Amino acid sequence: MQMKGEVASAGSENSLIDRLDALYEYDREPVSEKKLHGWKTFIAMFAGEHVAGTEFVLGPLMVMHGVSAKDFFLGLLVGNILAVLSWALMTAPVAVKTRLTIYWQLRKIIGPYLTIAYSAFYALILCLLAGAMVTVAVTAVSIPFGISNPDYVAGDLIPSMPWMGLALIVGVVIAALAVLGFEKIATFSKICAPWMVLVFFASAIAVLGKLGATSFSDFWQIANDKIFTGVPIGNNSKYTFWHVAGFAWLCNAPQHLGMSDVTIFRYAKSWTQGFASAFGMFLGHFGAWIASGILCAAFLSEGFVNPQPGAIGLYGAGIAGAISVVIAGWTTANPTLYRAGLAIQVATPNWKRWKVTFAAGAFMIITACIPAVNANLDRIVSYNALFFVPLGAFVLMDVWVFPKIGLISNFTEKSKKLFSWPAAIAWLGSFLICFFLYGKDNLPWMEQSIGGNLPAWLDAIKMDLTYLIAPEWILASLIYVGLSYFQQNSQKNVQLIAEGGLS
């Protein structure tokens, strides 16, 4: 009897592993025609991912950094329009043309060595961002258990053991859904997105009365006087129109300018579905940032401190608000961890995707237990964009521009090279130049090492991280095209092309 039980148990285990191994996401080849999705899928995915956990963090950050109401609303309008255009006119057309993940597209362009480096770094950042969303969810889950949330400002470096236990449970649920793949994530978003939007907006309207609003006509006055006052709270720096517009456009720069969302849009029937990003940007990065900013201001006005997402969600809409925070964290973390699993698989090609996704999930849970991650989420997002957008420039140049100027697309793959030196120089060169322009005025260790020895014209350039990402993209494009032209027109490669070795 015991042996039969053991055999049955082993059979069940093998069956589960076989089913997980069978989950196929077109990891290394173009998506087939029969697997393409329509508008509803991408509307739901963008609404679910961007009316989500980060909105409970970034809206309050704008309040804490003292942006004025005029700068906030205009900055959001301009920045979100630019983000939608970036997805629709750059990312989606490339995705529909190639039908490949960003990782396998890059492998053709920059070679396996640089692709592995890109994938490893990008997976690390994605795990940090997914971990931040686990933190968002746990700030709400912890409330009914009476477990206090960590306060980084007050000096908490790690949470309590019960809090970390909740993070483990929430993280496992998120990892399990990410393992199931694109279609299950899309289905989850379709269910959750409409409900979350209503809770966000309803809770913001509900607390306006606590700030003194008696009619809609009072809103603008209250927004100026009590929400987006133009005065930073605590030791936070001052944000202006340019900070808000830049951040709204570029907080997802790795996804659109950096092209990582070709991994998502490779399932789209048409490139025009890139405009589905508007549902994420204007419901999420416009409406939800405003709503969460209102919630944060009302929360602080009543003498509360530590405006964690779970606390302000419960304050604004009761149990429904707390639940929405949990779901919001999940709907952002799920596709983020899915991307991380695909990224790691490039560096570990013999591992099944479900295994590397669970490995990424373990690291995600660890990062969720570091309060400094959420407290510095705006800086992490900015560094993320600065480091990865050059790769998107290479993809766009290679897929669309090279054929128009007589250069060969996928030259590294076709010439059987393992490394693209034009891409390496353009990536590191553009990043280091822009990092220097930021760091010389904002990083103490760099300021001390320079010691006022810069030329006057260079010293006069004062740039925040968000201002540098678009110039970096342009600089990376120019360097890459120039060096690729030199590489492909060298005597050796011209001869190889003439002999039919490349096409």
- CA 289/CA 287 separation, integer angstroms: 6
- CA 374/CA 308 separation, integer angstroms: 10
Q: Is the dihedral of CA 166, 61, 377, 330 positive or negative?
A: positive
21 pLDDT above the threshold of 50: no
Write a three-state SS string for 32-60. CHHHCECHHHHHHHHHHHHCCCCHHHHHH
Query: What pLDDT score was predicted for residue 187?
Result: 67
Query: What pLDDT score was predicted for residue 71?
Result: 95
Residue 19 confidence class, pLDDT cut points 50, 70, 90: very low
Residue at token pair 């490039």: 346
User: What DSSP string describes 432-497?
Assistant: HHHHHHHHHHH-HHHHHHHTT-S-HHHHT----HHHHHHHHHHHHHHHHHHHHHHHHTSHHHHHHH
Query: What pLDDT score was predicted for residue 365?
Result: 87
Range of weakest confidence among 91-95, 362-366, 390-394: 362-366
User: What DSSP string describes 65-79?
Assistant: TT-BHHHHHHHHHHH
Query: What pLDDT score was predicted for residue 109?
Result: 94
- CA 396/CA 445 separation, integer angstroms: 36
Average pLDDT over residues 213-232: 87
- Residue 290, token pair as written in the block: 């405003």
Query: What pLDDT score was predicted for residue 2?
Result: 42
Tell me, which fold does domain 27-377 have in CATH?
Hydantoin permease (1.10.4160)
- CA 132/CA 126 separation, integer angstroms: 10
- CA 477/CA 193 separation, integer angstroms: 36
Supply the Cα-derived Rg of the chain in whole angstroms: 24
Task: List, in sequence order, every residue forming a beta bridge with 268; answer none if it has no partner.
Answer: 37
Query: What pLDDT score was predicted for residue 185?
Result: 65
Which helix (H) or strand (E) covers residue 422, if one does? helix 421-442
8 pLDDT above the threshold of 50: no
Range of weakest confidence among 47-56, 282-291, 384-393, 435-444: 47-56
- 353: Cβ–Cβ under 8 A, 6 or more apart, which residues? 23, 25, 27, 179, 181, 341, 342, 345
Query: What pLDDT score was predicted for residue 129?
Result: 83
Residue 122 confidence class, pLDDT cut points 50, 70, 90: confident
Average pLDDT over residues 225-230: 89
Residue 85 confidence class, pLDDT cut points 50, 70, 90: very high
- Residue 492, token pair as written in the block: 């050796």
What digits encode the pLDDT tens for the residues 372-409?
Answer: 777 777 778 778 888 999 999 999 999 999 999 989 99
The answer to whether 184 touches 330, Cβ cutoff 8 Å, is: no
Length in residues, the chain: 503
What digits encode the pLDDT tens for the residues 258-306?
Answer: 998 998 899 999 999 999 999 989 988 898 889 888 888 888 888 777 7
